[in-house]
Structure 1
Amino acid sequence: MSDSETGPQPTQQPTPQAGGVQDSLLTVHTQYVRDLSFENPNAPQIYAQMKTSPKVDLRIEMPMRAVQDRLYELGLKLTLNATLEAQTCFLIELDYAGLMTVGNHVPQEEIEAVLAIDGARLLFPFARRVISDVVRDGGFPPVMIGGLDFAKLYQQRRGQQTADTTQPSAAPPADGQATV
């Protein structure tokens, strides 16, 4: 039998408990929705008023935490607030996360950057799809969030942390725009 007859075969990925971490930069073990909220406070009136696309503001945070040695949870917290004139069309909050192992060859001081840049880059397309689907299911045109420059976001976060040493090391949110 060919693969087309039996379906795709699972790929072998190391488990977090496996004896060694492969030499890859990053291994994603799983990704998941931690929390999802969609609010449509002005339905059904807002649909009758939509002659133009709403303005969508995007806010993103990237919390990360160690689970085990070299095993981390990286979160993408995306908040979108869509308004039309002074009215809220919808508000969506997505907390999407991934469990990933950072390779042994990555120095300890570079782990945060690898997660914030490469890890976020791997998770983002899936989080973007969840948002687009939920917004569409809420009766609005799907939101198309453009590609984000996670290296730039990381550098901005690091710059903010060094400029303001009175704040805790939590990542300040990045703000942006999305289109409907």
Structure 2
Amino acid sequence: MADNPANNGAEQNGMPALNALAQYCKDFSFENPNAPRSLQPQTEGPQINLQVNVNAKQLAEADFEVDLTLEGDAKIGGKDVLFAFELTYSGVFRVQNIPQDQLHPVIMIECPRLLFPFARQIVADAVRNGGFPPLYIDPIDFVALYRQRAAEVQSQPGQTNLS
């Protein structure tokens, strides 16, 4: 029996595998609400705000859809919005031969880590196309984000799911 290229033979040899089956822009918006006034030279640099969220849902026994959501804006003086964006960039991942106790961290850390460079580029291009210098989001520590979210869930009574 020949190896299936989609799983690189992981199923047959028992090796752990994480494969991206698809990735796509699920939802995206960019706003430049004060144009063309916002495109004029500013006396001070903008304050950039960014929120990151990761969610996942199981599609099949070994397949998971992971959503990486980036929401942000740039303001001058804390009130005048130069631009705002919201992006949900998603992927479908096949996970094989990962121990059950490691499955959740793999889905919630490694999958968004693989999606991030593509989402970062979409945001940078949209900000540039909106008339501003491109916004290159700094790398995100998905391990720290995972730990922070786990701590938040544990501190809330009745919560058991991180996704």
What range describes the TM-score normalised by the shorter chain of this pair? 0.7 to 0.9
* TM-score, scaled to structure 1: 0.79
Q: Which residue number corresponds to residue 86 of structure 2?
A: 93
**Given that residues 154 and 160 in structure 2 are in contact (C-alpha distance below 8 angstroms), is that contact kept between their aligned partners in structure 1?**
no
Q: 2:126 matched to 1:121?
A: no
Cα distance, 1:144 vs. partner?
1.5
Could you say if the C-alpha distance between residues 13 and 34 of structure 1 is closer, same or farther in structure 2, counting changes exceeding 3 Å?
Answer: farther
Q: Return the alpha-carbon distance in structure 2 between the equivalents of residues 133 and 157 of structure 1.
A: 29
Distance 1:49 1:87, change over 3 A: farther
Map of 2:129 onto structure 1: 137
Give 3-state SS (helix, strand or coil) of 2:40's partner. Answer: helix
* TM-score, structure 2 as length reference: 0.87
Question: How many pairs are equivalent?
Answer: 157
Call closer, same or farther: CA 1:82–1:113 in 2, change over 3 Å.
same
Aligned identity (percent) is: 34
Superposed CA deviations along residues 121-160 of structure 1, whole A, max 9, x for unmatched, are: 1110110000000110000111121111111110111011
Aligned residue type for 2:91: G
Find the aligned partners of 1:13 and 1:135 in 2 and give their Cα distance.
Answer: 37
The alpha-carbon distance between structure 1 residues 168 and 78, as it changes in their structure 2 partners (threshold 3 A), is farther
Matching residue of 2:64: 72
Instruction: Look up the SS of the partner of 2:139 in the other structure.
Output: coil
Over aligned residues, Cα RMSD in angstroms?
2.2
CA distance in 2, matches of 1:94, 1:30: 17
Q: Is the 8 A contact 2:149 2:162 kept in 1?
A: no
Matched, 1:31 2:23: yes
Query: What code does the residue aligned with 1:139 have?
Result: G
Which structure 1 segments of 5+ residues have no match? 1-11, 172-180
Moved segments of 4+, more than 3 Å: 166-171
1:103 aligns with 2:80: no
Contact 1:13-1:29 at 8 Å conserved across structures: no
- Quick one: structure 1 residues 33 and 55, their matched pair in 2 at CA, closer, same or farther if it must change by over 3 Å? same
Whole-Å separation in 2 of the counterparts to 1:50 and 1:25: 49
Q: 1:136 to 1:168 in 2, by over 3 A?
A: farther
Q: Match for 1:40 among 27, 32, 36?
A: 32
* Structure-to-structure mapping, 1:14-25, within 5 angstroms: 14=6, 20=11, 23-25=15-17
Where structure 2 has 5 or more consecutive residues not aligned to the other structure, the ranges are none
